[in-house]
Amino acid sequence: MNKNTLTPFVATHPGEMIRDELKERGMTQKQLAAESGIKPSVLSETINGKRSVSLNVALALEKTLGISAEIWMNLQTQYDLDIANIAEHGNQRETVSVTIPVRDRNLLQELVRKFGWACVF
């Protein structure tokens, strides 16, 4: 890996993009499954990040949503690379002490949840 490569804190699975697209279109998973021919269980697992976007799913999404299969495959590849880079950097993490005022406890809880930080009160 190139030392100049930026590594995100969290990898974004393409399923999140599918979910966002459905919301934007006012479409349900059930409707997308019916229109695309993707099995509902496969679609659900993909949207929930439990399954990769396969070539067949990417092609079905292209036909149904009008978003190219290449985009879906690139999103999956980027996700896979991000996961690998995060794992590699995870072994090299530093411990950093951060002090957040008690009045910002909600912010702290959100940071702990989102980034998997350890928290001492």
Is the pLDDT reported for residue 115 higher than 70?
Answer: no
Distances (CA, A) of 114 to 32, 62, 91: 29, 31, 19
Place of tokens 């005022």: 101
What is the token pair recorded at 22? Answer: 């459905």
Is the pLDDT reported for residue 50 higher than 80?
Answer: yes
Q: At what angle are helices 14-25 and 69-90 packed, to 10 degrees? A: 140
What is the token pair recorded at 120? Answer: 């001492």
Average predicted confidence (pLDDT) for the chain: 85
Percent of the chain topping pLDDT 70: 74
Q: What confidence score (pLDDT) does residue 106 get?
A: 75
**Amino acid present at 81:** L
| Residue 22: band (very low, low, confident or very high) from pLDDT cuts 50, 70, 90 | very high
Q: Which residues contact 34 (CB under 8 A, 6 or more apart)?
A: none
Q: How many CB atoms lie within 10 A of CB 62?
A: 17
Q: What is the pTM of this model?
A: 0.70
Is the pLDDT reported for residue 39 higher than 80?
Answer: yes
